[in-house]
Amino acid sequence: MIQLRNLSKSFRLNGVTKTVVKNVDFTFPTGESVALLGGNGAGKSTLLRMIAGTVLPDRGEIVSTGTISWPVGFAGSFHPELSGAQNVRFVARIYGVDTDEAIRFVRDFSELGQHFYLPTRTYSSGMRSRLAFATSMAVPFDTYLIDEIMAVGDAAFKGKSQALLRERLTKAGAVIVSHNMRELQRLCTSGVFIADGQFYYYPQVEKAIEHYRDAMRGKQPDAILSDE
């Protein structure tokens, strides 16, 4: 369970205030995969980082039960001077999983070859993303936070990543940000559309996608703001 209580977050950029969420009360359904939709700059990635605890809200709080991943695909936390293997070992120790097993899994899944044993500062952005995704999948979480991870790698790597993620989501929930509507329809059961700091929740993900598409066309949707 992830509950937002009177949550507010905004920031200023070039003298303009941007609202991410404003006085939002919302509970993400336990064990459910929820699509997070909104226009560019709506604050989807910022919200994921608030849920993960790496960005603090201005007001309110986020209460959760169970374990929550860092945003899958976010590779900024890797130590650049440590190798991929050393970074994985460090993460495995933090989360209390078998280090040798985690290293074997990430090494094989990420397909980094000998680069796995080189400092991550030598990695390309795609290599870091592969390492981040595989590391996330090596740790069992109750809820996964996913931010456009399926854009990583060639078709074969995308395919096996999607298959692994679908398998993980049979036993866990997720909050997923993606501009790929077909992907969201495959992975999610419900959806949230964010606009002007407010949440529009739909028990059927297709309705959230419809709201998103209408908004992108400049239409005025007649949805009802709800946290039920």
In a domain, 46, yes or no: yes
In a domain, 206, yes or no: yes
Strands 33-37 and 59-64: unpaired
Helices (H), 7-98: 44-52, 84-95
pLDDT tens per residue across all 228 residues of the chain? 899 999 999 988 888 888 999 999 999 988 999 999 999 888 999 999 999 999 999 999 999 989 999 888 666 678 999 999 999 999 999 999 999 999 999 999 999 999 999 999 999 988 988 898 899 999 999 999 998 765 566 788 888 888 999 999 999 999 999 888 998 999 999 999 999 999 999 999 999 999 999 998 875 544 433 333
Residue 13 pLDDT: 80
pTM assigned to the model: 0.86
Q: Give the number of domains in the chain.
A: 1
Q: Residue 228, CB half-sphere, CA atoms under 13 Å: how many?
A: 3
In a domain, 137, yes or no: no
Stated length of the chain: 228
In a domain, 40, yes or no: yes
In a domain, 81, yes or no: no
Q: How far is CA 153 from the centre of its chain?
A: 17
Q: Residue 111, CB half-sphere, CA atoms under 13 Å: how many?
A: 10
In a domain, 185, yes or no: yes
**Positive/negative CA dihedral, 25, 31, 36, 42:** positive
Strands 143-147 and 68-72: parallel
In a domain, 143, yes or no: no
In a domain, 52, yes or no: yes
**Positive/negative CA dihedral, 92, 177, 130, 83:** negative
- The angle formed by the CA atoms of residues 223, 225 and 226, to the nearest 5 degrees, is 120
Question: 197: domain CATH number?
Answer: 3.40.50.300
Give the separation between CA 209 and CA 148, rounded to whole angstroms. 16
DSSP 83: B
CA distances from 96 to 89, 91, 138 (A): 10, 8, 11
- The angle formed by the CA atoms of residues 69, 227 and 12, to the nearest 5 degrees, is 65
Helices (H), 53-193: 84-95, 99-110, 125-138, 155-168, 181-187
Q: Which domain holds residue 215?
A: 1-67+181-228
Residue-wise burial string across 2-24, b where 16 or more C-beta atoms lie within 10 A, e elsewhere: bebeebbbbeeeeeeeeebbbeb
